[in-house]
Structures are given as structure tokens and as C-alpha cells.
Amino acid sequence: MIYRFIPVFSIIVLVILYAPAALGQDTPVCAACGEKVSGDFFETEGVYYHAKCFRCDFCGKPIPDSFIRYQGKNYHSSCFENNIALRCDVCGDIITGKYISNFWGNSYHPEHDGKEIQCSFCRRFITGEMIEGTIKFKDGRHLCSHCVPTAVFESEQAKVLMREVAGWLADFGLKVDPRPIEVHLVNKDALRRLASGASKNSQGFVDVEVTQNMSGEIQKQSFRMYLLYGMPRAQMIGTIAHELTHVWQLLNGGQDENEAISEGSCNYSVYLVLQKIGTDQADFMIDNMLNDTGAVYGKGLKQIKRYAEANGLEGWRRLMKERPQGSGMQMK
């Protein structure tokens, strides 16, 4: 989400001047035809035009009276309002001054942000033609018509994706056998109930059950992965990658007490996997992750990304295995 400003424009009344009375010895030339100004002429912002040469920069027809000058060009008011002016993609009104641009190229007034219904995953506003085909879940989430076609509603679909993600993670040296991991798709309310302390934006988590003998030796480990149902494919893949990296961390020495290293590493796995997908939704997720200013998930990702780029994937894996507890780790 990027805040931008649009220059203010106003309607200007055309005033025709008479050359002999208005011009001195240094006769200017018409900006349109290049000939010296003579007879009736018009001047705006130090630029001169013959009255007959003063035309709309959109339709090319003469401007007989009022006009709008915008970014150095002149327009009929109707041509500007109907074809040039930036309009809000939510309410349709002309935008002047401050406005917001999102990843998808939409522009809208700041006052709409947080007040109008948006897709819970791609953050597009659900208005106009977007309303048709939208799904509203009982837990309050909305899935727009762009995201519906790839949404995952069945655990079997998620299991197939988990095997695919596990293969990609193996390419990065994070080998996790997905076969013993149970997969359950749940709604938002159930996810927060099952994952005590999970944030309101949580989309998945892994529940680990460990059985030990009297000597403290691990006899059995079981993993259950809970995922939000209805997530678009790219979002589901990213969430699975994040949670499988947590599994890898647990199987290779446990998770670091420094959340920035632990969660930042999981998000780095997501970043690597999403790059393999190469879809608009994946690019949107990467953009969100890299612009996240949160101390754990956002800054943690940026730290791990810099560290991995400087030390390679092997250095990154070694960092997660050694678990330096944060205090002795230099990640610049």
C-alpha cells in the first residue's frame, strides 16, 4: 500500500486577448503552430496560442471557453473528467490530493481503507463487478472472485500441496518427510482456539506431541498441521512452507529462543518457495513480506535474507541448527 499525491487542478476561464494592444516589440510565437502570434491569442503560464490553435490535448478540438490545465496540458473539462482524471476504484469519484495505490494498480481515497470490504487474502476491494462470485465465510473472512478459483477447501488438496512444498524445501536443504504429518483445515475461530496465543492474522500452526520414556528419551513424535480452509493456492503453499520449516527446526535441535531468527527463517523459506511459483498472488505475498515492518516476522525475514545471501543456504541452515540464542548472533 503506497500513499501518493496528485497535483491539484482547477477550471480556468479562457480569456481571448487582442495582439496589438497586449504585445510589445518581442512578439512571442504560438506553441501549437510555431508562427508569431497575431490577431486574437491566448496566454497561460507564459505559453502563447493563437485563438484558433488552442485545442484540447485529448480530443484535438478547439477550446472555446473554460478548460482544465493539468501536468502542462490543456483539456476540455468534459474530456479531462471522463478520460484523464484519476478516479477512485472504490467510489468512482475524481481523486485530488492524497490517495493510496495498492499492489494491483488500484487507486482509492484514504478514507476507504479499513472501512470497505476487502478480500482477506489479496486485499482487493470487493465492489462493483467484484461482488459477484465472492465468498463470505462464517468466521468473517471474504474471498474475492479473483482468489476463489485456486482456493483450497479439502484436506486432501492441502496434503498434495504439502508434498510439493516438501520437495521444494528439500532443494534448499530442509528435508522433512510430510507423510506422517496430519493435515486439518479449520476456520479462523477454530485456529485461534487450537493455537493458544496465535495472532489474529495467523493462517496455520503445527501441534507437536512428544512421547518420552522414563529416561527422557523420545519414543514418538507426532505432528498435526492446522491450516485455514479457503486460502488461495499461493497463500496455502506459503503457510505450509512456513510450518514445515518449524517442523525442520524442531527435528534439528529445536526452535531458537530468538523469535526473529526462528520466524524470520520460516518466512525466508516462504520467500524462496514463492519465488518458484511466479504467480501474481505469490508476487503480492512477497511484496507484503518485504514491506512488513513487524519486529519478528518482517524484520526477522530481512535479517535472515541478508544473512543467507552473505553466508549461503548452508550458513543459514547452520544458523538454525546452532541456535545461538540471539545474543551472540551478528546479522547485519
What are 66's three cell numbers? 473554460
Work out whether strand 107-108 and strand 97-101 pair parallel, antiparallel, or are unpaired: antiparallel
Strand-pairing partners, residue 220, are: 211
Contacts 24+ apart (CB under 8 A), 61-64: 63/14, 64/14
Q: Are 41 and 30 in contact (CB under 8 A)?
A: yes
Segment (H or E) for 23:
none
pLDDT tens for 187-237 read 999 998 888 766 667 899 988 876 656 665 555 678 899 999 999 999 999
pLDDT tens for 142-172 read 999 999 999 999 999 999 999 999 999 999 9
Architecture of domain 2-84: Ribbon (2.10)
Q: Where are the domains of the chain?
A: 2-84, 97-150, 155-322
How sure is the predictor about 21, in pLDDT bands with cuts at 50, 70 and 90?
A: very low
Work out whether strand 47-50 and strand 40-44 pair parallel, antiparallel, or are unpaired: antiparallel
Q: Is 315 helix (H, G, I), strand (E, B) or coil?
A: helix
Q: Residue 214's pLDDT is what?
A: 63
Task: Encode burial over 104-129: b for 16+ CB neighbours within 10 A, e otherwise.
Answer: eeebbbeebbeeeebbbbbbbbbbee
What are the CA-CA distances from residue 258 to residues 244, 264, 295, 297, 308 (Å)? 18, 10, 11, 12, 17
What's the CA gap between 80 and 99, in Å, rounded?
18
**Residue that is written with C-alpha cell 517442523 in the block:** 247
